[in-house]
Amino acid sequence: AQSVTQLDSQVPVFEEAPVELRCNYSSSVSVYLFWYVQYPNQGLQLLLKYLPGSTLVKGINGFEAEFNKSQTSFHLRKPSVHISDTAEYFCAVINTGGFKTIFGAGTRLFVKA
Amino acid sequence: DAGVIQSPRHEVTEMGQEVTLRCKPISGHNSLFWYRQTMMRGLELLIYFNNNVPIDDSGMPEDRFSAKMPNASFSTLKIQPSEPRDSAVYFCASSTSATSTDTQYFGPGTRLTVL
């Protein structure tokens, strides 16, 4: 069975600083990986998704993530954050051909002025 | 497109009462998911429908929970009787894919409080 671990529950950062949100997964088969963002009192929205092929995935709002198979990681990065990026971020994994997405516990990004 | 629509947005009820949550998926999407989000357990998949048929309900916590999808544009999640531990935010999501590899589009959620 697959699983996903988000290593940081909270990440405070100053505006315009870079940020990395860490995600590690485990699975015995090939996987698809996703990052979703949840703004307060809203549902989740897709930031980006990894499909087998390229290791660097670009998403919306200037975010990108790098798939590292040897380290089973899919860390999310942004070179310069804005106050509006304050939200909770979820890493998710699903086996190829599967239908059950497993979500991580979430990382709360707090951007300070 | 209006996106996934859920109602009500907030529900406060007393223990023992029946609760019905409603979802309208995005038109043309053939997969629908019900999730529950709590601080303790995070985001959990409760049940998944494809073409209106329940495919996997292994996440439904117990017999008090039931879900239906009578047609492609409507689904309900019912809790009867409700208990305080059912308090959570319940999300409905839809996608175009028979597997979950396509993007799931989430509704705004229903915040349920059981007193």
Structure tokens at B26: 């995005």
How far is B81 from chain A, CA to nearest CA, in Å? Answer: 26
| Low-confidence residues in chain A, pLDDT < 70 | none
pLDDT at B78: 97
pLDDT at B11: 96
Cross-strand partners of B41: none
CA separation, residue B65 to residues A35, A71, B2, B97 (Å):
29, 39, 28, 25
CB A91 within 8 A of CB A35: yes
Tracing tokens 């894919």 back to the chain, one arrives at B97
B99: which chain A residues are within 8 Å (Cβ-Cβ)?
Answer: 94, 97-99
User: Which of the pair, A59 or B1, is modelled with greater confidence?
Assistant: A59
Cross-strand partners of B93: B33, B106
**Mean predicted lDDT score pLDDT of chain B:** 93
Structure tokens at A85: 């990026």
Percent of chain B topping pLDDT 70: 97
CB atoms within 10 A of CB A12: 11
User: In one letter, which amino acid is A47?
Assistant: L
Task: Count residue pairs from A and B with Cβ separation < 8 A.
Answer: 54
CB A42 within 8 A of CB B108: yes
B99 — pLDDT class (breaks 50, 70, 90): low
pLDDT at B40: 86
CB B112 within 8 A of CB B6: no
Which of B55, B91, B105 comes nearest A99 by C-beta?
B55
Q: What is the mean pLDDT of residues B79-107?
A: 89
B98 — pLDDT class (breaks 50, 70, 90): low
Q: What angle do CA B7, B42, B82 make, to 5 degrees?
A: 50
B49 — pLDDT class (breaks 50, 70, 90): very high
B100 — pLDDT class (breaks 50, 70, 90): low
B43: which chain A residues are within 8 Å (Cβ-Cβ)?
Answer: 44, 90, 103, 106
**Pairing outcome for strands A44-50 and A56-58:** unpaired
A42: which chain B residues are within 8 Å (Cβ-Cβ)?
Answer: 108-109
Of A2, A64, A94, nearest to B101 by C-alpha is A94
A43: which chain B residues are within 8 Å (Cβ-Cβ)?
Answer: 4, 91, 93, 106-109
pLDDT at A95: 80
pLDDT at A29: 79
pLDDT at B1: 65
Percent of chain B topping pLDDT 90: 81
3-state secondary structure chain B: CCCCEEECCEEEECCCCCEEEEEECCCCCCEEEEEEEECCCEEEEEEEEECCEEEECCCCCCCCEEEEEEECCEEEEEECCCCHHHCEEEEEEEECCCCCCCCCEECCCEEEEEC
Structure tokens at B73: 């544009």
Q: Give CA–CA dist A32/A93, Å, rounded.
A: 6
